Amino acid sequence: MKGKRWNGKVKEYYDNGILKFEGEYLNGQINGKGKEYNDDGKLKFEGEYLNGKRWSWNGKEYYKNGELINEEEYI
């Protein structure tokens, strides 16, 4: 991602072809809604991002096995 100034909806993949991240970018940083995935394709986090960092009123974080860890605010 370094050096890229992506804008709009973006999908990133692990080397094994599994989806790593899908969400919105602005000026090369994650901004807006997005989802992070583990290298086995299970959801890791879903919520809002601001300037490349997690920021959400309703963020959810998951264990590697897909079980919900918590649902809270990331501010």
* Strand 29-37 versus strand 43-50 pairing type: antiparallel
Give Rg (Cα) of the chain: 12
pLDDT of the residue at 74: 47
Task: Please name the CATH architecture into which domain 8-74 falls.
Answer: Single Sheet (2.20)
Local confidence pLDDT in tens for the 75 residues of the chain: 454 677 899 999 999 999 999 999 998 899 999 999 999 999 999 998 989 888 766 688 899 888 898 887 645
Domain ranges of the chain: 8-74
The reported pLDDT for the residue numbered 56 is 60
- The model carries a pTM of 0.77
The per-residue DSSP string of 1-37 comes to: -TT----EEEEEE-TTS-EEEEEEEETTEEEEEEEEE
